[in-house]
Amino acid sequence: MNRFTVKEKKVILKEFNELLHIAENITDQDQRDLIRKAFNMAYEAHANMRRKSGEPYILHPIAVAKICTHEIGLGTKSILAALLHDVVEDTEVTIEEIQHQFGDKISAIVDGLTKISGVFVNRTDLQAENFRKILMTMTGDLRVIIIKLADRLHNMRTLESMPPNKQLKIAGETLYIYAPLAHRLGLYAIKSELEDLCLKYLHPQDYDNIVNNILDSEKRRLTYINRFALPITNKLNEEGFVFEISGRPKSIYSIWNKMETKKVSFEEVYDLFAIRIIFEPKPNLPEKAQCWSIYSIVTDMYIPRSDRIRDWVSQPKANGYEALHATVMGPGGKWVEVQIRSNRMNEIAEKGYAAHWKYKGATHHESELDRWIKEIREMLEDPRSDALEFLDEFKLNLFTSEIMVFTPKGEIITLPSGSTALDFAFFIHSEIGLHAIGAKVNHKLVGLNHVLQGGDQIEILTSLKQQPDLLWLKFVSTAKAKTKLKAAFREKRRIISVKGKIHLENLLVEMDMKPNSTVFRKLYNHYNTRNKEELYYRIGEDMFDQEYFKKVLKKRSLNKYIKFWGIGNQENTDAAKMFDKSKTLIVDDNMRNYNIASCCNPIPGDDVIGYKADDDELEIHKTSCPKAIRLNSSESQNVVKVEWTTQRILAFLGRISLKGIDDIGIVNDCTTVISQELNVNMRAINFESHDGIFEGTIDVYVRNASDLNTLIMNLSRVKGITQTARMEIKDHE
């Protein structure tokens, strides 16, 4: 037994009494008794345990509880759960016991904390899976995640005693997941402390340099701030404001981050001053109006940059942040950012979500946060979404800054900046996203890839016939749109696969064949895949008839052709020898190395010859083509008689659908692009336009699917084109 010394017991009691003292104002006697009870339970349970540093383990839950109440502003329930947060995981105490002693709410929070507790494994996908679990618990009670953040903050503060490899791992994890999460919940103070601590362990040298630089320039900075603030202070006093002006430097991490990303020196970053004016609102006057009158006082002294006003008072950020930001020209020609906040706004800025609980009437922000959590829940509930993919998308949502846009009815929607009309469509409803064809932004017609600006009013145009396109993934940035799109594609692919599987099974029955390995090998070769899912999908896409499959399955194996053309045969490089002129070459669907000569554009059924070009590709010319005639006489050893047994692949007919903004010249631009593609021939073109949107299809002959894709990509670059996609052609003429 490793009982504590008298001195240690004194420390424990001192810490616990401090916790009680901090909580004094927000608790009554009954609640303090409960806190004592929880402390006793945790003390007994952790009695024999010590932290890596050697200190009694119980000091950790006490510290976490202190962070929860003192630094975040949470109440009794959180203090209880924080005190008990490690007992179920690390000791004999069961969750049932906690439920029995403290009730359902506390046991649910402790249970959540136990489930997410930090056994992060090194493999990224497991980390991602773990993170997903963390978020899953959020959908129950947000306190779970906040206490988890407090737990992590204390672990980071005491990281010194961990071995170096653990330090790196924990710091990496913190920077990757916990700091963004703290940011998203509006816990700015915790977020920057976490980041600074991460930097200290991940880049100790950089950290020390910045800390020393800050110390060196501290005096200069304070002098400047005083000089800047003095006239403002005088005026605010005259006007009877109760306020405080502070000029806290940027966090170490944010200085480092700016130096790294912008490749600038410490001085360049550091010289951007930010000054905060925090005021106690005068009674009977709206806070907003007071913010603006302080703004007016500041800009009477210093010239503002009109493009740098951020009004988070009229419209708070999604995480609840409220403040009025302005950038003005200070003495000595320096830009100074001035942040104007009431006490209430400041507390929200420091303590985030938890502070909202204190201020009644702040329902708007809670609903914003609820919406965010609901969105996460939707993503989590998609059973097929891949954990890592999810994590990436989720992080996207954590980091991006926001813009406010409007629905046609004037409702305000918050989206990450960089969002497109399609993101907006998915935000409104996934069905609207999946069927969107275009949008009107401020009454002007735009494509779905149109990037939205703050203040835009957006109306989405839909059509039930519309199907989501793979290219859409390139121009959505919100996690919701991506998740919904990917789910739609997976579903579509799954349906085609099932269709293909059934089709193949039916065909084999009709042909009286068994689905044995020989059959599959031939099909794998033919479709150039080894994957059953892929095979079914491809069959489902083609849906070729029995005749076609008979040929495929009766065909000699592809290897024969490869040998025939000398591909892969290293010993004999003389192509001519590989070229059996005495036989007619059958070019059918098994043949892949061919090219339709662009000089004569033969189509199936034409009388043609094959010419084996330098790159081992077969070039098919009309027998009557002047070039063919010349080749026949000059390089007859490389020319072979060709017979086309099927038209399907050699004359690959593709259909491309196009959508865009109706614009003079757009059709011309498209046909120009097509004519520039060497291996593409246009067969038909069909356009119509309505409501300023133009839609159409182009049928082209192409060599292979990859050429078709190239063409689609090039068409998608045409100005005004918003969508391009490959379409299935049902009836071959």
Least distance (Å) between residue 157 CB and Mn ion: 12
Closest residue to Mn ion using C-beta atoms: 151
- Comparing CB distances to Mn ion, the nearer of 86 and 393 is 86
Least distance (Å) between residue 52 CB and Mn ion: 12
Active-site hit among 44, 89, 375, 617: 89
Alpha-carbon distance of 10 to 14, in angstroms, equals 6
- Comparing CB distances to Mn ion, the nearer of 153 and 436 is 153
**Residues of this chain, 476-515, that bind Mn ion according to CB under 5 A:** none
Least distance (Å) between residue 46 CB and Mn ion: 10
Strand, coil or helix: 587 = strand
CA nearest to 459, candidates 481, 480, 436: 436
Measured at the CA of 635, the angle between CA 632 and CA 639, to 5 degrees, comes to 60
Stretch that binds Mn ion, among 2-10, 79-87, 426-434, 564-572 (CB under 5 A): 79-87
- Comparing CB distances to Mn ion, the nearer of 133 and 358 is 133
- Comparing CB distances to Mn ion, the nearer of 52 and 521 is 52
- Examine residue 151 and tell whether it contacts Mn ion (CB under 5 A): yes
Least distance (Å) between residue 17 CB and Mn ion: 21
Residues 687, 694 contacting (CB under 8 angstroms):
yes
CA nearest to 209, candidates 199, 195, 198: 199
What single letter denotes the amino acid at residue 333?
G
Stretch that binds Mn ion, among 83-91, 174-182, 291-299, 577-585 (CB under 5 A): 83-91
- Comparing CB distances to Mn ion, the nearer of 194 and 436 is 194
Stretch that binds Mn ion, among 10-18, 23-31, 146-154, 449-457 (CB under 5 A): 146-154
Which are the contacts of 371, defined by CB distance < 8 A and separation ≥ 6? Answer: none
382 is catalytic: no
Residues 178, 194 contacting (CB under 8 angstroms):
yes
Site string for Mn ion, 537-576 (x = CB under 5 A): ----------------------------------------
What single letter denotes the amino acid at residue 128?
A
Question: Phi first, then psi: what are they for 448, rounded to 5°?
Answer: -70, -20
Alpha-carbon distance of 561 to 586, in angstroms, equals 10
- Comparing CB distances to Mn ion, the nearer of 19 and 405 is 19
The two three-digit tokens of residue 9, written as one number: 């017991």
Stretch that binds Mn ion, among 17-25, 85-93, 126-134, 168-176 (CB under 5 A): 85-93
Stretch that binds Mn ion, among 82-90, 97-105, 161-169, 221-229 (CB under 5 A): 82-90
What single letter denotes the amino acid at residue 703?
R
30 is catalytic: no
- Examine residue 66 and tell whether it contacts Mn ion (CB under 5 A): no
Which are the contacts of 465, defined by CB distance < 8 A and separation ≥ 6? Answer: none
The two three-digit tokens of residue 211, written as one number: 């800390």
Q: How many CA atoms lie less than 13 Å away from 272 in the CB half-sphere?
A: 14
Size of the site for Mn ion (CB under 5 A): 2
Alpha-carbon distance of 573 to 481, in angstroms, equals 53
Least distance (Å) between residue 89 CB and Mn ion: 8
Measured at the CA of 680, the angle between CA 675 and CA 681, to 5 degrees, comes to 75
Alpha-carbon distance of 637 to 612, in angstroms, equals 9
Least distance (Å) between residue 275 CB and Mn ion: 37
Active-site hit among 90, 375, 382, 589: 90
Stretch that binds Mn ion, among 143-151, 178-186, 494-502, 718-726 (CB under 5 A): 143-151
DSSP 457: B
Q: What is the dihedral of CA 602, 603, 608, 613, to 10 degrees?
A: 60
Question: Phi-psi bin for 553: left (phi > 0), alpha (psi -120 to 50), beta?
Answer: alpha
- Comparing CB distances to Mn ion, the nearer of 86 and 459 is 86
Least distance (Å) between residue 341 CB and Mn ion: 33
Applying CB under 5 A, among 71, 86, 393, 695 the residue interacting with Mn ion is 86
Which value, in Å, is the radius of gyration of the alpha carbons in the chain?
34
Which are the contacts of 189, defined by CB distance < 8 A and separation ≥ 6? Answer: 71, 350, 351
Site string for Mn ion, 28-47 (x = CB under 5 A): --------------------
- Comparing CB distances to Mn ion, the nearer of 111 and 151 is 151
Least distance (Å) between residue 149 CB and Mn ion: 11
- Comparing CB distances to Mn ion, the nearer of 89 and 389 is 89
- Examine residue 149 and tell whether it contacts Mn ion (CB under 5 A): no
Least distance (Å) between residue 150 CB and Mn ion: 9
Binding site for Mn ion (CB under 5 A): 86, 151
**Residues acting as catalytic residues:** 89-90
